[in-house]
């Protein structure tokens, strides 16, 4: 079988908050910095990092502007996580 014909389907999922934390660390950005620059409530940033909240279109757009990571990436990450966990998106 050709390895290129086998689709990648991991048996795990990562909350987008983990990716957010890694991105912030790589940029040397604190939650307070992100909240101030993105206009996102600091409590919501902490909830995302603690995997207690979801990334919404509003938050994804703010993250794109501040972190230069496309909003579509954040929304796809959240959608994939929600689908794997069988849950709906949170609010903000």
pTM surpassing 0.85?
no
User: Please, are residues 38 and 66 in contact by the beta-carbon 8 Å criterion?
Assistant: yes
Q: What whole-number distance in Å separates Cα of residue 82 and Cα of residue 62?
A: 20
CATH no., domain 15-82:
1.10.260.40
Q: What is the pLDDT of residues 68-80, one digit of tens each?
A: 999 999 999 999 9
Instruction: Band the pLDDT of 2: cuts 50, 70, 90.
Output: low
Q: What whole-number distance in Å separates Cα of residue 17 and Cα of residue 35?
A: 14
Q: What whole-number distance in Å separates Cα of residue 54 and Cα of residue 72?
A: 14
């Amino acid at each position: 079988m050709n390895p290129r014909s086998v689709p990648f389907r991991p048996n795990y999922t990562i909350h987008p908050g983990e990716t957010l934390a890694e991105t912030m660390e790589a940029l040397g950005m604190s939650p307070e910095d992100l909240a101030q620059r993105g206009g996102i409530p600091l409590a919501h940033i902490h909830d995302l990092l603690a995997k207690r909240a979801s990334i919404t279109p509003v938050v994804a757009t703010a993250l794109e502007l501040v972190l230069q990571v496309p909003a579509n990436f954040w929304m796809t990450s959240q959608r994939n996580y929600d689908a794997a966990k069988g849950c709906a998106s949170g609010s903000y």
